[in-house]
Amino acid sequence: MKLKERIQSRPLLLDGAQGTFLQNCDITPEQWGDVEGCNEWLNLSAPDVIRGLHRAYFEAGSDAVETNTFGASPITLGEYNLSDRAYEINKAAAALAREVADEFSTDEQPRYIIGSIGPGTKLPSLGHITFDELLAAYKIQIQGLVDGGVDGLIIETCQDPLQIKAALSAADDILGPDSDIVRYVSVTIETTGTLLVGTSPAAAAAILAPYPIDVLGLNCATGPDAMKHHLDTFNELWPAQLACMPNAGMPEARADGSVHYPLQPEEFAEKVGALAREHGLSIVGGCCGTTPRHIAELRKQFSNDWNNEGVEAQPPSNGWKIREPAPAPQQAASLFSAVELTQEPAPLYIGERANATGSRKFRDTLLSNDYENAFHILTEQEETGAHVLDLSCGYAGRDERKDIEVLVPRMARECTAPMMIDSTSADVIEDALKCYGGRAMINSINFEDGGERAERVVPLAKRFGASLVGLTIDEKGMAMNADEKFAIAKQLVEFCVERGLRAEDLLIDPLTFTICSGDDTLRDAAFQTLEAIRRIKAELPGVRTMLGLSNISFGLKPALRKVLNAVFLHQAVEAGMDACIINVAAIVPLNEIPDELRKGAEALLANDTSNGDPLENYINLFENVVEESETSIEERPADEVLRDAIIRGKIPWLEPAVPDLLKEQAAEDILNNIMLPAMKEVGRLFNDGIMQLPFVLKSAEVMKRAVDMIKPFMTTTEADETVPLVVLATVAGDVHDIGKNLVGIILSNNGFDTVDIGIKVPIEQMMQAVKDHNAAALGMSGLLVKSTAVMAENMKVLEQAGFKTPVLLGGAALSEKFVHEACRPHYSGEVLYCKDAFAGLAALQTFKDTGRLPEYVEPTRDGLGCEVPDSGHEEEEQSEPIAQDVPVPDVELDTWITTDIDLDEIWKYLDLDGLIKGAWGYKKGGLSDEEYQKLLDEEVYPNLEKMQELAREIFEPKTVHGFFKCRSEGDHFYLTNPQTGEEIPTTFPRQNKAPHHCLADFFRPDGDVCALTAVTIGHKVMEKEQELRDADCYQDYLLFHGLAIMTAEALNEYMHKQVRLQWGSDEGDLPLREIWKQKLDQSRFGFGYAACPDLEMNKVVCDLLDTERINLRTTELFMCDPEVSTLALVTHHPQSYYFNL
């Protein structure tokens, strides 16, 4: 049985680490020669040692072994001056492995060898080595392995997709299209969640899917636990077999310099076996730190499904079956991330501005060799929403290959949007693809020359895994009507499919021509193009369509072009257009076009002459329309551009506005006369409900960048000028810092210095910081009620110490009344309540101007902070008496920890409305329904997807819950400690209005059972938040924090459901809204709120549940640490509900 057939029918067990084995062998100095450390040399100098290596793994139960050639590329061997012996070493290694495999092979259980091809030490995407150098080296290595008799090739420990492409191209050249030698690619995903060069697993799948790869797998870097999530991704995306070869756990460095791998053989085998069964893996084995003992234990995992002779057990006893391949991803990809070729909603937008023929501005930068600004023009399209970036450097008299050589490698390293390489030269296209690790798009081929150029370009698309655009042009010229367009489209598809491309790899551009020139032969051009799109979509399955859409309006003035393009875009999408090349920034939403203009455009596109000449009518419609300026950013006054950059959150607009301004104005004037007023306008827009909080933070990011740009140009006097410095801190015992952090962001980007000394800060540390920094003011923050009491006590300490520094107080539980009555009387210095960050800013601006804080600051519309709203329940009075004889559930009195919780399962309970409007601050305000929906579609939902992807690498959801004896007595509640039998009392307040309920009423006085729950998202959240703040990614910081808080709430909801199920609920799989509707959640109460205000009970809950086991504890103020955690008391009483006092 050939290896290719074998891996499709039942699991195959590969070997373990070779380096680990050889380190424990007795290898003499004579065998090493002068190349000690080059394990590959041992294939020639110590063949018996290598035979022993392979024999040990076959004896352990391996079905196949890898050759000892991980570093046997001529390039890697060159580090030992052995390049010229690469073919000899690889062939010898394969022959040795073949010899031992044949010793163990039987007709019932053949044994196989797989040629190992390592990544080398040079990454082409980072410019260490060229594609052609890698290709030549891999061809020598692969030829040696094939001649030595391998059954398969494994390109392993891959860290760069461009390196994989070089190895696969070499395999194609040596093996040809019909070889039965298996091609196995194994990537290494670091603890960061990406390949070393930053490629996400999803992007890797998109890049590699077009290649004839039999197996895609993971190896090295991590142990089996960390590979599960990435295998989940591949399981959804990969169209062939999957494999996994983890390390024996995460490596641990020891004091003596050695590295220890912690997973013992039994535990390693259990974990890898579980991964194999869950994901239907075809190949499993071990990487660093694994030994024949690890493989022997892993063999036992196999024996439950396949007997030792390799005959299938009937049926497999534990469900280990090879998975069904997933549908191939149909995506383009940068080096970092993938983009669906079929967008929902359509179309795929391809930015057109980096085109030397179509854009004068881009052409001029190339002609002046100004590559920095050329690259800026290219990349700023990402900011305006382009999914793919078209790059066309061809221009008469210009060295196109030189421009590509400069721009494409940088594009590969820095752009998150995929590349469309646009050229009429096959050589230029090939040069670009050799520099690009992502899955590119090629623009384009046609039959203008009878197919000669297409014969060169199509193989390039196949070799580099690119998608390809075909234009409906033949030797007669451009197709003008629908029939001609379709006929050429069909020929293009057949031509490409015959040469190995898939229909899904192709985009047909049926071409569109201007209907605005007055040429009667083109008046129906729009109709012909739309009809061609419909036919292509209907009759050529899998093929996509694309247009250079703005050609339709060529010849009109800009205002007329925008409207006509927008209406044609809508019609083309309805006809089935999948993609368009367009200046995304110039797209006008259809709903913003007046009906009269829209109807005029529709008549022109349809060549509707019922009311006369539609072109003349359309032009006349604009006689009274004020034409918007088409002035580019660079042509506008620099002060206006800088102001708008800050207000609109446009980082790319800072260049060249700031450098131009610095030529004319002092840095201090730019700051005071342009930048600070712009941030003041941001505050006004927020206060008036026009700007949402995330956009405020984006403006702050731009402000920070602008300040960094002008700071080197400030004179010593300007740079050292004293500005008010504010010390910020969250009070002792409180771990919540989002409000404080937002204050710091807003203040620091409005001309104030801030020193943030963190969370849980004692008043003594605050006073010391004020002294050390000679602070002008002290800002204290806190979230819950207990923190307000701490603030009041802090006022007394400040007074006793003789402080006079002005103090600003803020926090969710704080009020103007509390500050006036409980704080100001105890401190003779100035004390001001600030509802939000902009209130603090206004106060300090007054202080800067007058030397005193104002007595009162009007709060902004909703406050500025990360709100966690309630679930939207309306309190309903319960008129029926509360039953005292509800049966006690028959449950085991114990505790349980849950750690492996799928985030997608948790997010089923995510309060999306609360996240968006409350935690993130995307409130409708004065927006219309249509405007708000546009905001959701274009800004909010993409941000949610982005944050959830980030969260998968950071969030560590863990829970512990348990059931405990309890009872009530009047307003008192008694919880029994199962270890000591002691009753722990607390008192719940009773309503002072009808129906006078108390939480204790929902527990039986003669003995009952309650549940306690504790959930956390983990400590990494705060580390990531700090990282985002340090990088000045203020908007991402807010969004990430909001998602973390709301995910903790969702996890709380998820855990509550598990409790209800253990209590015997038959509720089924209800969505969150239905849970709320049935009030199933209203039996869960958190301490610190009105019905159960005693925060000290949080410490009791943590002690009884032993939450240290999930790294959760309470602060001295009895708040959860980490912040993204929640504790709850749960009653089973069916009448329980949320009520206010």
9 labelled ligand-binding: no
**Among residues 125, 136, 22, 31, which one has the least CA distance to residue 78?**
136
149 labelled ligand-binding: no
Spatial separation of the C-alpha atoms in residues 66 and 72, rounded to whole Å: 13
Spatial separation of the C-alpha atoms in residues 370 and 195, rounded to whole Å: 32
Spatial separation of the C-alpha atoms in residues 688 and 679, rounded to whole Å: 14
13 forms beta bridges with 284
**Among residues 452, 588, 557, 507, which one has the least CA distance to residue 331?**
507
Using the 8-state DSSP alphabet, how is residue 209 labeled? T
686 labelled ligand-binding: no
Please state the φ and ψ torsions of residue 252, each to the nearest 5 degrees: -120, 120
Asked whether 511 and 471 are in contact (CB, 8 A), the reply is yes
Q: How many CB atoms lie within 10 A of CB 1048?
A: 25
The secondary structure element, H or E, covering residue 965 is strand 958-969
Give the chain's length: 1141
Asked whether 548 and 518 are in contact (CB, 8 A), the reply is no
862 labelled ligand-binding: no
Q: Residue 465 — left, alpha, or beta (φ > 0 → left; ψ -120 to 50 → alpha)? A: left
Spatial separation of the C-alpha atoms in residues 367 and 763, rounded to whole Å: 63
* Percentages of the chain per state (helix, strand, coil), in multiples of 5: 45, 15, 40
288 labelled ligand-binding: yes
277 labelled ligand-binding: no
371-383 vs 400-414: helix crossing angle, rounded to 10: 50
469 forms beta bridges with 443, 507
1139 labelled ligand-binding: yes
Using the 8-state DSSP alphabet, how is residue 191 labeled? T
Spatial separation of the C-alpha atoms in residues 281 and 241, rounded to whole Å: 7
Residue where the block lists tokens 């390049």: 83
Spatial separation of the C-alpha atoms in residues 146 and 173, rounded to whole Å: 12
834 labelled ligand-binding: no
Q: How many CB atoms lie within 10 A of CB 870?
A: 11
- The answer to whether the bond into 656 is cis (omega within 30° of 0) is yes
Asked whether 1083 and 1133 are in contact (CB, 8 A), the reply is yes
1084 labelled ligand-binding: yes
Spatial separation of the C-alpha atoms in residues 698 and 1039, rounded to whole Å: 11
Spatial separation of the C-alpha atoms in residues 373 and 414, rounded to whole Å: 14
- The answer to whether the bond into 1122 is cis (omega within 30° of 0) is yes
Hey, what are 849's tokens?
Answer: 């101007």
Hey, what are 552's tokens?
Answer: 């339709």
287 labelled ligand-binding: yes
Q: State which amino acid sits at residue 1120.
A: C
Hey, what are 258's tokens?
Answer: 């050695």
Using the 8-state DSSP alphabet, how is residue 479 labeled? -
Spatial separation of the C-alpha atoms in residues 1126 and 735, rounded to whole Å: 13
Spatial separation of the C-alpha atoms in residues 990 and 874, rounded to whole Å: 19
Q: Contacts by 27-30 with C-beta closer than 8 Å and gap 24+?
A: none
1010 labelled ligand-binding: no
1138 labelled ligand-binding: yes
Distances, alpha carbon 8 to alpha carbons 13, 206, 661, 774, in Å: 13, 22, 65, 72
Asked whether 157 and 73 are in contact (CB, 8 A), the reply is no
Q: How many CB atoms lie within 10 A of CB 1067?
A: 12
Q: How many CB atoms lie within 10 A of CB 347?
A: 22
Asked whether 579 and 573 are in contact (CB, 8 A), the reply is no
Using the 8-state DSSP alphabet, how is residue 64 labeled? E
Q: Which residues are annotated as a binding site?
A: 220, 287-288, 733-737, 781, 837, 911, 1084, 1138-1139
Q: Which residues are annotated as a binding site for Zn(2+)?
A: 220, 287-288
Q: Which residues are annotated as a binding site for methylcob(III)alamin?
A: 733-737, 781, 837
Q: Which residues are annotated as a binding site for S-adenosyl-L-methionine?
A: 911, 1084, 1138-1139
